[in-house]
Amino acid sequence: MKSLADGMNRILSEGALTVLRETKVLEKKGRSILHFEIGQPDFPTPGHIKLAGIQAIENDYTRYTVTEGIPELVEAIQNEIKITRGYTPDLEQIITLPGGKPGIYLSMISTVNPGEEIIFPDPGFPTYGSLSQYIGAKSIPIKLKEENQFRLDPLDIAANISSRTKLIILNSPQNPTGSVMTKSELEHIAEIAKEHDCFILSDEIYSKLLYDGDFYSVTTPDQASERSLLLDGFSKSHSMTGWRLGYLVGPKSLIEKIRTLVVNAFTCTSEFIQKAGIAALTGPMDSFELMMKSFRERRKIIVDGLNDIPGFTCQMPQGAFYAWPNITGTGLSSQDLAHYLLHEVGVACLPGTAFGLGGEGYLRFSYATSIDIISKAILLIKQAIERLEK
């Protein structure tokens, strides 16, 4: 076979999916595994959303739609931005996509040339670094510091930005640390981006999963009309990971180009899924409130439990559903400890390094699982660490 495109040698997979595959092999051999590796709500999609999808199929909403999405959905997204971000984007600033991830891919390939620089958090969602390499861009990972509660420090961005910087990627609430940026930090970063004339991609997929205070978007200062792109979706907030539905809001001329890319790559998002999306944005939020209540309870149990394990310390995450303990006190690397816990006691979590070099010394636990499983896992980890110490 002829050699593949060069970019194929630079693109990386995702740690969560690699560990999931490993657990499947162990489960096939009869091992029972407690799962903390995958970042998706363990709640079903709310009933009214499922029903809207089913009815849409029965009513034959099964054809191509306009690329940006059916007008009712685009208008519902516009209204959602007005309510949650405080500004009303024009309809031409919005495009519906099959999931949040395509929004990362499309934003990155449409703004950055090979050799230009991309700033992103480290640890951070692995796609940012992987796609940066794929594009042939220069990655500028910015270390998130524990003493700053893992919030990206605007001064660190200012110290690393250059005339070659094209894109700054932000993610608040953050995967994997659960940190939430403050309004003043985000305003400061918007200023820095303006001064240096670069784009911002704000990955707001966890915008609703906030334990205290109101959400603030870095796209508010320019209303996503000049340099900032807002990415959000339905996967986490509406338990719709498998439906594949998300959207981008950005400058009109950029969204128009992204629309052309979508025309060439996948035409549009499935019509009946868009119908379900309208139900999600316009329907009741009581299932979401129950889910958040449950995440809040689990957050306390897992963080208290992890802090009780010798060699572990864990801050309280402010958003999303991930606990990010510092495990340097165990004396093991995050890779070795994650491997040990999986094989010794069947607890599957992710090594911090799955999120970049800045993740060394940490593990990520997704607590989108039952209190019973969390309590069992904490006990097993504690016993495994005690055995390690002997």
Stretch that binds ligand PLP, among 41-49, 59-67, 95-103, 114-122 (CB under 6 A): 95-103
Stretch that binds ligand PLP, among 93-101, 304-312, 329-337, 375-383 (CB under 6 A): 93-101
Dihedral sign from CA coordinates of 144, 149, 151, 153: negative
Element (H, E) at 95: strand 94-97
**Strand arrangement of the beta sheet that strand 350-351 belongs to:** 322-323, 363-366, 350-351
The CB-of-20 to ligand PLP minimum distance in angstroms stands at 12
The CB-of-128 to ligand PLP minimum distance in angstroms stands at 9
Binding status of residue 239 toward ligand PLP by CB under 6 A? no
Contact predicate 366/20, CB 8 Å:
no
- State how far the alpha carbon of 57 is from the alpha carbons of 50, 52, 69, 298, in Å: 11, 9, 17, 36
Q: Which of 37, 42, 117, 203 binds ligand PLP (CB under 6 A)?
A: 203
Smaller CB distance to ligand PLP: residue 171 or 269?
Answer: 171
Nearest to 292 by CA among 377, 363, 207: 207
Binding status of residue 180 toward ligand PLP by CB under 6 A? no
What is the rounded CA–CA span in Å between residue 95 and residue 93? 7
Pair of tokens at residue 199: 């784009």
What is the rounded CA–CA span in Å between residue 254 and residue 85? 20
Q: In terms of C-beta density within 10 A (0-12 exposed, 13-18 middle, 19 or more buried), how is residue 135 classed?
A: buried
Binding status of residue 233 toward ligand PLP by CB under 6 A? yes
Closest residue to ligand PLP using C-beta atoms: 100
Binding status of residue 364 toward ligand PLP by CB under 6 A? no
Within residues 112-171, the interface with ligand PLP by CB under 6 A covers: 125, 171
Binding status of residue 235 toward ligand PLP by CB under 6 A? yes
Binding status of residue 93 toward ligand PLP by CB under 6 A? no
Within residues 32-91, the interface with ligand PLP by CB under 6 A covers: 39
The CB-of-352 to ligand PLP minimum distance in angstroms stands at 15
The CB-of-354 to ligand PLP minimum distance in angstroms stands at 12
Smaller CB distance to ligand PLP: residue 320 or 337?
Answer: 320
The CB-of-172 to ligand PLP minimum distance in angstroms stands at 10
Binding status of residue 202 toward ligand PLP by CB under 6 A? no
**DSSP state string for 28-56:** HTT---EE----S-SSPPPHHHHHHHHHH
**Bridge-based pairing state of the strands 228-233 and 199-203:** parallel
What is the rounded CA–CA span in Å between residue 243 and residue 345? 33
Q: Which of 15, 46, 100, 178 binds ligand PLP (CB under 6 A)?
A: 100
Q: Which residues bind ligand PLP (CB under 6 A)?
A: 39, 99-101, 125, 171, 175, 203, 205, 233, 235, 241, 246
